[in-house]
Amino acid sequence: MTWFDETLYSEWAHGGYMQRFEISRILHQTHTSQQNLIVFETPMFGRVLAIDGIIQTTERDEFIYHEMLVHVPLFAHGEARRVLIIGGGDGGALREVLRHPGPALARLVEIDPGVIEISRQFLPGLSQGAFDDARADLVINDGCDYVKSCGEKFDVILVDSTDPVGPGEVLFREEFYADCRQILADGGILAAQCGVPFSQAGELTASHQRLAGVFDDAAVYLAAIPTYVGGAMAFALAADSRAPKSVNADVLTRRLKDAGFETRYYSPAIHRAAFALPPYIEALLA
DSSP 215-260: SSEEEEEEE--TTS-SSPEEEEEEESSSGGGG--HHHHHHHHHHHT
Structural contact between residues 237 and 245, judged by C-beta atoms closer than 8 angstroms:
yes
Q: Give residue 27's Cα distance to chain centre.
A: 24
β 233-239/184-193 pair status:
antiparallel
Phi, psi of 167 (to 5 degrees): -60, -25
Structural contact between residues 41 and 25, judged by C-beta atoms closer than 8 angstroms:
yes
SS3 17: strand
Give CA–CA dist 231/260, Å, rounded.
31
Structural contact between residues 144 and 170, judged by C-beta atoms closer than 8 angstroms:
yes
Please tell me which residue in 52, 160, 163, 179 is annotated as part of the active site: 160
Catalytic: 160?
yes
The order of strands in the sheet holding 36-42 is 25-31, 36-42, 46-51, 54-58
Q: 247, 253, 239: which is closest to 190 by C-alpha? A: 239
Give CA–CA dist 193/32, Å, rounded.
24
- Active-site residues, by number, are 160
